[in-house]
Structure 1
């Protein structure tokens, strides 16, 4: 099975990594449609989670339009997800990672998406790498 994620470590604290992520997304014409701070949401429900964990749903409108015009079933896979978290298994080191579009698009088994998924994944990998630097 193909790798599910692309994840890198950074020496930045989580808040700084999030700011860097948002800047890197904007530079590549992606935007964060939604940001879930999992710890806060769970706290609202009476649960405690440590360390910090954030989920972003990100999108490039032109690429999303292209994908949806090809086959609307791709909507089940949109938007792309990027996470920023303190990895308790790595001394609470900050990690930034994405769910690989190429792996997800493989679930549709439709060659029409191969090039687009590869392009989106390469751009999002560049976003993650830039945010981690």
Structure 2
């Protein structure tokens, strides 16, 4: 089975890392379509405390368009989710969906190419924010 995520540890604190990830995504042509504050949701819905944890739904419109043109149902696998979370020891992890693996499930050469190109961009984002 292919690895469906890759991750880095940020040398910065949680709020700074969220900002750095968002800026690095923008630098690579991504926008953040959705922001899900998992910790806040768990607190509001269940009364449960959780370490800071956010899911950013990142989308590069150019590549999303290419993928949708190839396979209209591909939207079920979009956007590329990026998780920023504070670990128990205080470290901050940034976890990226691996679009090459996930989009490779489609077994369409056009979509696989999109997956490769988007993965390259997300790996650059990881290098910008990781150590």
Q: Which residue of 2 aligns with 1:39?
A: 39
Question: Which digits, 9 at most, give the CA deviation of each residue in 1:45-85, with x for residues without a partner?
Answer: 13313211110001011111111011112111111100000
Is it true that 1:97 corresponds to 2:85 in the alignment? no
Partner of 1:112: 110
Give the TM-score of the pair, scaled to structure 1.
0.92
Q: Which runs of 5+ in 2 are unaligned?
A: none
- The Cα shift of 1:40 comes to 0.5
Structure 1 residue runs of 4 or more that deviate by more than 6 Å after TM superposition = none
User: What is the deviation of 1:106?
Assistant: 2.0
Structure 1 runs not aligned, ≥5 long: none
TM-score by length of 2: 0.93
Once the 2 structures are TM-superposed, how far is the Cα of residue 132 of structure 1 from its aligned partner?
Answer: 2.6
- The DSSP-based 3-state class of the residue aligned with 1:45 is helix
State the Cα RMSD in Å. 1.3
Task: Report what 2:123 is aligned to.
Answer: 125
Who is 2:55 aligned against? 55
| Structure-2 residue corresponding to 1:75 | 75
Count of matched residue positions in the alignment of Structure 1 and Structure 2: 131
Shift of 1:128: 2.1
Deviation at residue 7 of structure 1 after TM alignment: 0.3
CA contact (8 A) 2:42 2:50 kept: no
Q: Could you list the per-position Cα deviations for residues 110-131 of structure 1 after superposition, in whole angstroms to 9, with x for gaps in the alignment?
A: 2221221000011011112212
What residue number does 2:22 align with?
A: 22
The aligned counterpart of 1:3 is: 3
